[in-house]
Structure 1
């Protein structure tokens, strides 16, 4: 609420930072305060499908708004040509603005691209020029970054540490690689994950993975074994050594190993590469 933007992208709103906010309504209140600071000549950009953001806007909004959608009917809409989101057309009021053809995958990144195009347009950049820039965009580190290809295994480093981020990232990869094997390896390191706030939703976020290995460090505040009871594809490991041993067993099957953490994962990135050679 202290940024005081003229152009604001409200990409999604979910419960997080459980060490700071008691519940989702408390976060909505902060978003409402932010919305109130945006001037009347500004612009608020948000996905039409996010019910929480829509609720915030109904709490009071005195700024023009515009919405985005994927294969929908919002003012700014992306029509997918590849299910993984790597190729799509951009429409404004049903008028084709051009195609984004890039290396990123996942519906969340399509929404990111749309929002960037709309925000750029608000400050005077033509959508066609924004699309040209996106087609030249190279992804940042730790966002499905390929860190190694060893025999038939591709290793990825990804910053995902929230169930929705995990789910959308794996969904994008699944749509890209088809039936190839996907193994997700997750360190529940964020404060919200460590508190066990997402106990009821975390297991389902691995639905697109053939196997999910979750690290249970000794100082975690809750027992992860309950997750393995919710889904057959989840295994719990209590040490980095155990994770490496398990992945060595999986490596002959090939596929995509996605390491997910907002930290260093106990040196797993470097140690696993050495172990798989």
Structure 2
């Protein structure tokens, strides 16, 4: 089958493309913006990419168009597809019907940490010899790709099918299907990692997102498992609406049933109902990663991996590209790249870096409010809080509909705002000193700011 994917360079749709290619389909695709690592991965797979959404792509005559949620009405190619009455579907629907049937699906949901936790869980299952399939919204460095089918040669009954781990996003499916992506996946194991307000462009409030999470809970069978963060009142409300599966909680206190950590985030014991079941020694920092690890351990247990074996696996976990990834060092100044974009994620990322640095080391936080929620200014009041641990903050204000200087005024002379990437780079270089840690945070390509900084600092 020939499928043509609209919006192919998004992390999710790029993963769908990789899976379709591995399954033997002919895959082509188009997008308006192309940037690594997804573009590199697609080209390496031999997938032809077309820039833009020209109506002439109808002439490719694919058997099916798969539509990403970046595509909306008014898109010229989509309008041509509709006018011609050609077959189309969404990425999550295609995945559900062509990849996930008969698999033991492990879905990782949450406002933060989905990509990292999905990667941890996938690596644990790989380490344990489960040969899982996976689709991650990033590139796990233990694998070097964002998606693969895994071992599919087995009994295809759902209860015994081979595992498939998927990052389960609550964002909507497509312009013609406004349900959250994750309702298509029908997981047998589901991680509910955390739940805060986000995606202000499609959700009116936190209660609306909680409703979508409960739709996910409704799809987990009675023999399934929900792995839930014990510290989130929002998740308590979700489960109080109705729960039909076993619940394994993590982040519990004391000897409460569930999983908890004892020790620092980089070196900690794992306890289940107060009993020591393993120890994690790794290079990752931050309490958020410690919590991600507990979630992954609890989920892996549901497919027969012992907590001790999971802890051993995490000791060899190499994280994900664009998660505190070191891009280079010049004159004693280190430049990092990170995907953080929600205020809570920004705060935990900066705090995680702070914890591993020697006292007195400066952190220069360089960020762009790029997500739809941040562009709308819904969470602008939280930015000073999110940047508390940074010595200096540099905000790229280009394209915002609100005044970044006004939103960040309480930070005083610790914040600098620039409306272009080049001026942002110039301001950072002016203030940087040997020994500084420059932490760049964005959920997009950030205009190549990392390479521009390294070049300007040299």
1:125 aligned onto 2:305: yes
- Any residues of structure 2 matched to 1:97-136 within 5 Å, and which? 97-136=277-316
- Any residues of structure 2 matched to 1:263-274 within 5 Å, and which? 263-274=444-455
Residue 24 of structure 1, aligned match among 202, 206, 211: 206
- The alignment covers a number of residue pairs equal to 273
* Root-mean-square deviation over aligned CA pairs: 1.4
Partner of 1:248: 429
4+ runs of 1 displaced by more than 4 Å? 70-74
Distance in 2 of aligned mates of 1:52 and 1:231? 30
Residue 212 of structure 1, aligned match among 385, 393, 400: 393
**TM-score (ref. length: structure 1):** 0.95
1:53 aligned onto 2:235: yes
- The one of the two structures with greater contact order (alpha-carbon pairs below 8 A, sep at least 6) is 1
Distance in 2 of aligned mates of 1:193 and 1:261? 11
Residue ranges of structure 1 left out of the alignment (5+ in a row): none
- Any residues of structure 2 matched to 1:1-277 within 5 Å, and which? 1-69=183-251, 73-74=255-256, 75-80=258-263, 82=264, 85-179=265-359, 180-217=361-398, 219-232=399-412, 233-277=414-458
Residue 70 of structure 1 contacts residue 79 of structure 1 at CA under 8 Å; is this kept in 2? no
Query: What is the deviation of 1:103?
Result: 1.1
SS of the residue 1:202 aligns to? helix
Residue 383 of structure 2 contacts residue 408 of structure 2 at CA under 8 Å; is this kept in 1? no
Bigger-Rg structure (1/2): 2
SS of the residue 1:231 aligns to? helix
Residue 231 of structure 2 contacts residue 252 of structure 2 at CA under 8 Å; is this kept in 1? no
What CA deviation, in whole Å up to 9, does each residue of 1:193-228 have, x standing for no partner? 1111102212210011111111010x2111111122
Instruction: Give the direction of change, closer, same or farther, for the CA distance of 1:104–1:70 in structure 2 (3 Å limit).
Output: farther
**TM-score (ref. length: structure 2):** 0.58
What CA deviation, in whole Å up to 9, does each residue of 1:45-97 have, x standing for no partner? 111111111111111111111211177554201112x3xx1111101111112
